[in-house]
Chain A
């Protein structure tokens, strides 16, 4: 392992002070990405700042207005919490897909976001649930809609000394359903060849879609929203033809590359299939 120092501050102020120091200072939550990247020299650090002892980053609470997830809260905790409380089924499902149980026990949802992999399984679920990234730095902090958080593969818009403090998700209405599906060659423990998260809200009396959110993984340099597909769905009653058309439009938002996990054409076809499947699951859940 390359050389670095390690600190485990117990307050947000001291974490921010450490991260603002000269040098390349890297926050660590679960460490399941960062430690592997440091070992492989894919990321460098002079100082690793362990955030798991900072109380402000361990928040996990919901109220009538929504859900707050501190950036150091593990996938396992978020999965258990959302599975029990309800309201964010796509997030509950995707936090149970990240790596193995052993990874989920340590990896944080915030870390999955900050690692900014286009294939990250929790990100489409957070995007369709309209998560806002609340950041913290010595000079204050920002509120960034999650869709604007990503700058490229492995890159976020966080600046030096700035960390993700928490993710804030508004409470969805009762007439909302969401789900996330990914395709991998085995049944578990793999990186998404492509993934789709869908959320729809319908008027319970007319069945007209009042809100649609569709987000795609592994088909662009960053996670993306399928805006054209969302706009098409809003204001109509969903039938089989509408699902086909939505899937076509979602494919139009995908700009995948060909790599070892799949060809660009294959990934586009996966977006079509997964969009249909996620919408059908949402409809079943709303029925």
Chain B
């Protein structure tokens, strides 16, 4: 085991931290930086509960080693809202009740934000395909899809 000194920007804040070479980004976010919005689900890249953005790309933080983010920018669900003002994606999920228990929601927020950055006007099929890496075990997918569709509209008007 070895410790690595890394510099990383998380939600716009620079951190210089010592990480264990075997920690995942998920562990560093939750246990070290206390950003517990990012959830641990399957821990093997299937469920998407731990989705964050690394340099703007949605990624499963359970499959990223903490030292890999040296010099990279990470965005978690805590980094979306601006001083308490929710983003159009977050507003749309609230409006359409795009959540039930809420455990998958941070991952869906990040995945949706990344999707709409890439493709501002996805079709329903594209939404379902591109969000297939995020599982909702309450199975409330229709409301999630409606939330994403509405978020796309809100963003196009913003």
Residues of A within 8 A of B (CB): 1-6, 8, 28, 31-32, 35-36, 39-40, 48, 50, 52, 76, 99-103, 105-106, 187-189
A36 touches B44 (CB 8 A): yes
Point out the residues of chain A lying under 8 angstroms from B63, CB to CB.
31-32, 35-36, 103, 106
**Cβ contact of B22, chosen from A2, A32, A99, A100, cutoff 8 A:** A2
**Cβ contact of B57, chosen from A4, A50, A105, cutoff 8 A:** A105
**Cβ contact of B111, chosen from A3, A36, A39, A101, cutoff 8 A:** A101
Residues of B within 8 A of A (CB): 1-2, 4, 21-24, 43-46, 48, 51, 54, 57-60, 62-65, 67-68, 70, 111, 114-115, 128-130, 132-134
CB pairs A–B below 8 angstroms (30 shown):
A1-B23, A4-B22, A6-B21, A31-B68, A32-B60, A32-B63, A35-B63, A36-B45, A40-B44, A48-B21, A48-B65, A50-B65, A52-B68, A76-B57, A99-B133, A100-B133, A101-B115, A101-B130, A102-B45, A102-B48, A102-B58, A102-B60, A103-B63, A105-B54, A105-B57, A106-B57, A106-B60, A106-B63, A189-B132, A189-B133
Q: Give the docked Cα–Cα distance between A105 and B51 (Å).
A: 12
For the A-B complex, the count of residue pairs with Cβ-Cβ distances under 8 Å equals 91
A106 touches B59 (CB 8 A): yes
Point out the residues of chain A lying under 8 angstroms from B54, CB to CB.
105-106
B43 touches A187 (CB 8 A): no
A189 touches B130 (CB 8 A): no
A5 touches B21 (CB 8 A): yes
A35 touches B24 (CB 8 A): yes
Shortest CB-to-CB span from A86 to chain B, Å, is 20
